[in-house]
């Protein structure tokens, strides 16, 4: 199986410990297969939406068999390589890729070295984790498809270089800034307060790349009248412009003449949408905003998120379809990572109270079931 990557003809690339193995991991077969959990499914015959529980490296390899070249948009928000703690998502290549190690002719010393690298907070460990997944992700995209990866400043520089390598530099399309903090920040040791994540967008193939939601504009107000300004009912001067690539807070959008407030505000403790114990949960408004640009409303196009977390992407797709009668589909992948009762007491209690396994994928499924019910008319509070 070849994950069909774009070759680098620029003469430079990022090297890191374990890169050869990481490359090969994308191409090695998986021994796993998918099994439908009818007991956990709802409206299976009518909805084409899917949640897959498992390690996304294996799942991407399985999806490769049926979804090669079929996914229009991929959005991922991977675990960040925070400098403060060890990277907990390392691949246990000792077990799953024993044959690969044999193939690479590694000795125990090298394997031990890589094993440690994969488990530390080093850039090499994080990049080794991401590399095969990004390579497989590219192969799933349609020719006009797009991959969006959200990241912070600890890894944006190295991520950009491996994306350039896997997708080809000419397929780099956007660097979108999401301001997750628009207010002030308590004084800390850093000189400037950290307030944004970066979202990189790469096309599969520049010549076929499809994006523009031409009907979506941003409304900007001005104090004074100037050339091109219009006046609204309250006498304010405004211009409807292309949406900016720096987004934050509440954006006033205009779609087919209709003015709406789209909130891409971070979810603070009091937010209705926020699930307790999910510090990394993103607002569904952010994903709705991105999906509006890249997915055709009615074409049954698929949005894949293989670091699904609390299931924001699925919730966003359902909300968007409910709002505009669209027919977009989603596939989410989330591992059965255990919920730490100390860090996420409420989410853990939620699971144990209901006799469901205290793993993150339980929360993903629960949120989506509730979001689905809400849209059908149940009126459900998503807080836990």
Ligand X SMILES: C[S@@+](CC[C@H](N)C(=O)[O-])C[C@H]1O[C@@H](n2cnc3c(N)ncnc32)[C@H](O)[C@@H]1O
Q: How far apart are CA 83 and CA 17, in angstroms?
A: 18
Q: What letters, b where the CB count within 10 A reaches 16 and e where it falls short, cover 198-217?
A: bbbbbbbbeeebbeebeebb
- Tokens representing 237? 């001067």
Q: How far is the CB of 57 from ligand X (least distance, A)?
A: 6
Q: How far apart are CA 63 and CA 58, in angstroms?
A: 9
Q: How far apart are CA 384 and CA 372, in angstroms?
A: 16
Q: Does 294 bind ligand X (CB under 6 A)?
A: no
Number of chain positions touching ligand X (CB under 6 A): 19
Q: Does 333 bind ligand X (CB under 6 A)?
A: yes
Q: Does 309 bind ligand X (CB under 6 A)?
A: yes
Q: What are phi and psi of 220, to 5 degrees?
A: -115, 135
Q: Does 142 bind ligand X (CB under 6 A)?
A: no
Q: Does 282 bind ligand X (CB under 6 A)?
A: yes
Q: Does 209 bind ligand X (CB under 6 A)?
A: no
**Which residue has the CB atom at the shortest distance from ligand X?**
309
Q: Is the dihedral of CA 285, 330, 243, 278 positive or negative?
A: positive
342-381 positions binding ligand X, by CB under 6 A: 360
Q: Give the residues across from 303 on adjacent strands.
A: 73, 330
Q: Does 197 bind ligand X (CB under 6 A)?
A: no
Contacts of 138 (CB under 8 A, 6+ apart): 3, 4, 5, 6, 147, 166, 167, 204
Of positions 28, 128, 301, 310, contacts ligand X by CB under 6 A: 310
Q: Does 273 bind ligand X (CB under 6 A)?
A: no
Q: How far is the CB of 74 from ligand X (least distance, A)?
A: 13
78-97 positions binding ligand X, by CB under 6 A: 78-79, 89
| Contact status, residue 383 vs residue 330, Cβ threshold 8 Å | no
348 closest CA partner among 275, 272, 266, 269: 275
- Tokens representing 341? 């009762």
Q: Does 158 bind ligand X (CB under 6 A)?
A: no
Binding mask 211-250 for ligand X (x = CB under 6 A): ----------------------------------------
Q: How far is the CB of 215 from ligand X (least distance, A)?
A: 27
Which residue number, 155 or 334, has a Cβ lying nearer to ligand X? 334
Residues at the site binding ligand X, with contacts judged by CB under 6 A: 55-56, 77-79, 89, 278, 280-282, 307, 309-310, 312, 333-335, 337, 360
């Amino acid at each position: 199986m070849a994950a069909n990557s774009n070759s680098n003809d620029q003469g430079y690339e990022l090297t890191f410990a374990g890169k050869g193995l990481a490359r090969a991991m994308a191409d090695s077969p998986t021994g796993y297969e998918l099994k439908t959990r009818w007991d956990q499914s709802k409206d299976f015959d009518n909805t084409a939406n899917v949640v897959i529980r498992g390690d996304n490296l294996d799942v991407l390899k399985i999806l490769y068999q049926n979804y090669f070249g079929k996914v229009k948009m991929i959005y991922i928000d991977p675990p960040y390589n925070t400098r403060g703690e060890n990277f907990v998502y390392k691949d246990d290549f000792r077990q799953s890729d024993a044959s690969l190690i044999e193939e690479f002719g590694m000795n125990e010393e090298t394997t031990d070295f890589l094993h440690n690298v994969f488990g530390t907070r080093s850039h090499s460990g994080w990049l080794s984790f991401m590399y095969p997944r990004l390579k497989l992700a590219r192969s799933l995209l349609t020719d006009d498809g797009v991959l969006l990866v959200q990241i912070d400043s600890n890894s944006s520089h190295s991520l950009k270089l491996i994306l350039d390598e896997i997708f080809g530099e000419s397929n780099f399309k956007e660097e979108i800034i999401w301001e997750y903090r628009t207010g002030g920040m308590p004084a800390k040791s850093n000189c400037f307060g950290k307030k944004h994540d970066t979202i990189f967008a790469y096309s599969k193939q520049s010549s076929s790349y499809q994006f523009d939601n031409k009907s979506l504009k941003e409304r900007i107000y001005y104090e004074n009248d100037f050339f091109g300004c219009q006046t609204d009912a309250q006498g304010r001067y405004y211009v409807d412009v292309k949406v900016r690539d720096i987004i934050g807070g509440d954006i006033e959008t205009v779609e087919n003449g209709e003015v709406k407030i789209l909130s891409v505000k971070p979810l603070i403790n009091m937010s209705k949408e926020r699930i307790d114990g999910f510090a990394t949960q993103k607002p569904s408004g952010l994903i709705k905003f991105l999906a509006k640009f890249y997915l055709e409303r009615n074409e049954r196009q698929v949005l894949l998120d293989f670091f699904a977390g609390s299931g924001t992407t699925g919730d966003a797709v359902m909300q968007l379809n409910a709002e505009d009668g669209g027919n977009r589909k989603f596939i989410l992948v989330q591992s059965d990572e255990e919920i730490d009762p100390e860090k996420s007491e409420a989410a853990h209690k939620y699971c144990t109270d209901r006799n469901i396994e205290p793993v993150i994928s339980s929360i993903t499924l629960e949120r989506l079931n509730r979001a689905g019910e809400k849209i059908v008319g149940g009126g459900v509070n998503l807080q836990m």
